Amino acid sequence: MSEVTVIAEITNGKLNPATAELVTAASALGGDVVVVVPCTDASVADAASAYSNVSRVVAAKSSVFANYDASGWAEAIDAVSPAGNLVFLASAQSKDLAARLASKRGISVVQDVVEISGNNLTSPIYSGKAFQTVAISTTAVISVRANVFSPSPSDGDASMSVVDATGNVKSAIKELIGRASERLDVAEANIIISGGRGMGSPDNFKHLEVIADTIGAAVGASRAAVDTWDDIPHSMQVGQTGKTVNPNLYIAVGISGAIQHLAGMRSSKYIVAINKDADAPIFQYADYGIVASWEDALPVLQSTFSEMF
């Protein structure tokens, strides 16, 4: 039987739980599922062998995986991954890597997949306004959106091998000096609380940060907030020209709900909007809406979350 390879998502040196979702997606493509875990320490791969429906796990060990670099990572992963379909998480980093691998192997890449039916892969296009389904007739590299496929249960016992993936790697990033932010990135978060121009000033984002720290969320922003205030970096921007996110919970505070913002977050599982204007468009897409100023609503939210978490 042919093999389909999941490239495990590594976040801060640990196996990202979304890797279990990739296993489910890979199973839908058919074939034996192999999980390749890029790592500097093979013990990171242990959790992957517990996923059910996995035939084997390859801990691809190399110092190149200490810091992300598309060229070095693609070289190392290519060397240890079997032929056949490759499945990545559709995070910003892994989409970059997926494209590199596809180019390296001379095969197609299909990004942001949200549904797999045999060889038919469905993904959103035009900022989520439409969906396209493409049929793959040969091997391809696929990236899969988080929080779409259910995670594979952890009752398996796949065999694990450790391989040195350094091989022909010609370049590696030895050290990263000054990361953009120490906070959780919106692209990786399961819960996001975002602020818009309605926050009034960048200083007021500290109220969002307190809540984010309480519930383990990332802090995002609308483009108006990013464009208006230098202290709100573009890395926080959600939307058509920012990041596309797919969290379980998205809390939009002082954000009107322009189509370009919705393009980046409307596939969130639950959307909560806080806006003082009852006619703000965001309420048409929110599962729960609070018509109030953030000055009134956030303290109540914070004290409730403090009791819960």
Ligand X SMILES: Cc1cc2nc3c(=O)[nH]c(=O)nc-3n(C[C@H](O)[C@H](O)[C@H](O)COP(=O)(O)OP(=O)(O)OC[C@H]3O[C@@H](n4cnc5c(N)ncnc54)[C@H](O)[C@@H]3O)c2cc1C
Per CB under 6 A, residues contacting ligand X are: 196-198, 222-225, 237, 239-242, 254-256, 258, 260-261, 264, 274-277, 280, 293-295
Q: DSSP assignment, residue 243?
A: B
Cβ at position 236, least distance to ligand X in Å? 10
Cβ at position 35, least distance to ligand X in Å? 33
Give whichever of 212 and 225 is closer to ligand X, judged by the CB atom.
Answer: 225
Q: Decide: residue 309, CB within 10 A, 0-12 exposed, 13-18 middle, 19+ buried.
A: exposed
Give whichever of 66 and 210 is closer to ligand X, judged by the CB atom.
Answer: 210
| Calpha distance 24→272 (Å, rounded) | 29
Give the strand pairing for 14-15 and 10-11: antiparallel
Give whichever of 39 and 232 is closer to ligand X, judged by the CB atom.
Answer: 232
Cβ at position 133, least distance to ligand X in Å? 26
Q: DSSP assignment, residue 215?
A: H
Give whichever of 105 and 276 is closer to ligand X, judged by the CB atom.
Answer: 276
| Calpha distance 37→42 (Å, rounded) | 8
- On whether the CB atoms of residues 52 and 153 are closer than 8 A, the answer is yes
| Calpha distance 56→244 (Å, rounded) | 32
Cβ at position 254, least distance to ligand X in Å? 4
Give whichever of 4 and 273 is closer to ligand X, judged by the CB atom.
Answer: 273
| Calpha distance 295→309 (Å, rounded) | 22
Cβ at position 226, least distance to ligand X in Å? 8
